[in-house]
Structure 1
Amino acid sequence: MTEWIDVGLITDIPVQGSRVIAGPAGDIAVFRTANGSVFALRDRCPHKGGPLSEGMVHGNAVTCPLHNWVISLETGQAQGADQGCAGKIPVRIEGERILLAASALHRYAA
């Protein structure tokens, strides 16, 4: 059975923005898209470790602010010719609350 950790309200995250959650294995970026979907990734671009939480959210992707790598919010995978994965954290929504899978928070050591 998966344990879930409440990290706040959906409205705590601006539309097409993010919020950083300190995890035991490093920061997690929680994103909210224009259509209201919520995703969570390790807050490190697979290219050079750029802070994805500071990137531009567009559609279901985020562009790393350092070198413009586009990362899928759905999978954590780099898009186009780039390769690598930021590490996806399972998200569950209960009412207006965002919950993250506790086991995944420990998985991605910096």
Structure 2
Amino acid sequence: MSEWIDVGMVDDVPVLGSRVVQAPGGDIAVFKAADGTLFALRDRCPHKGGPLSQGIVHGHSVTCPLHNWVISLKTGEAQGADHGCTHKIPLRIEGSRILLAASALMARAA
């Protein structure tokens, strides 16, 4: 198996939005910030498991749609007074394609 799996085009992810990639280990949300930077996290808020892919992207953070926890897209860590972390998924861009680390796609979400 390749170390990286192609999951789509950079342009498939809307600015200030996300795209969900279904993976054996659980859904992955690929986000695009206003500056075009892409990030990938497990699509589960560390608080109550809310779908981060449905949250609001601002700066390099996303706000969970369930209870307004703010999660860093860079680290997966909850911001402010909240504590918790969702797994960051290694991502790289080749040309106009998004690749995610195969090992992270297979690992079960905690």
TM range (shorter): over 0.9
Shift of 1:61: 0.3
Shift of 1:104: 1.0
- Contact 2:42–2:109 (CA under 8 A) maintained in structure 1: no
Point out where structure 2 has 5 or more consecutive residues left out of the alignment.
none
Distance in structure 2 (CA, Å) of the matches to 1:49 and 1:59: 22
Q: How does 1:1-20 map to 2 (within 5 A)?
A: 3-20=3-20
2:76 pairs with 1:76: yes
Distance in structure 2 (CA, Å) of the matches to 1:92 and 1:71: 21
Q: How does 1:1-110 map to 2 (within 5 A)?
A: 3-109=3-109
What secondary structure sits across from 1:39 in the alignment? Answer: strand
Cα RMSD (Å): 1.1
Shift of 1:103: 0.6
Distance in structure 2 (CA, Å) of the matches to 1:109 and 1:36: 27
| TM-score where L is the length of structure 1 | 0.95
Distance in structure 2 (CA, Å) of the matches to 1:106 and 1:73: 20
- Number of residue pairs matched? 109
| TM-score where L is the length of structure 2 | 0.95
- Contact 2:10–2:96 (CA under 8 A) maintained in structure 1: yes
- Contact 1:87–1:108 (CA under 8 A) maintained in structure 2: no
Distance in structure 2 (CA, Å) of the matches to 1:84 and 1:24: 23
Distance in structure 1 (CA, Å) of the matches to 2:76 and 2:27: 15
Point out where structure 1 has 5 or more consecutive residues left out of the alignment.
none
Sequence identity percentage: 73
What secondary structure sits across from 2:104 in the alignment? Answer: helix
1:6-44 deviation per Cα after TM superposition (whole angstroms, max 9, x unaligned)? 000010011000000001111000000100000000000
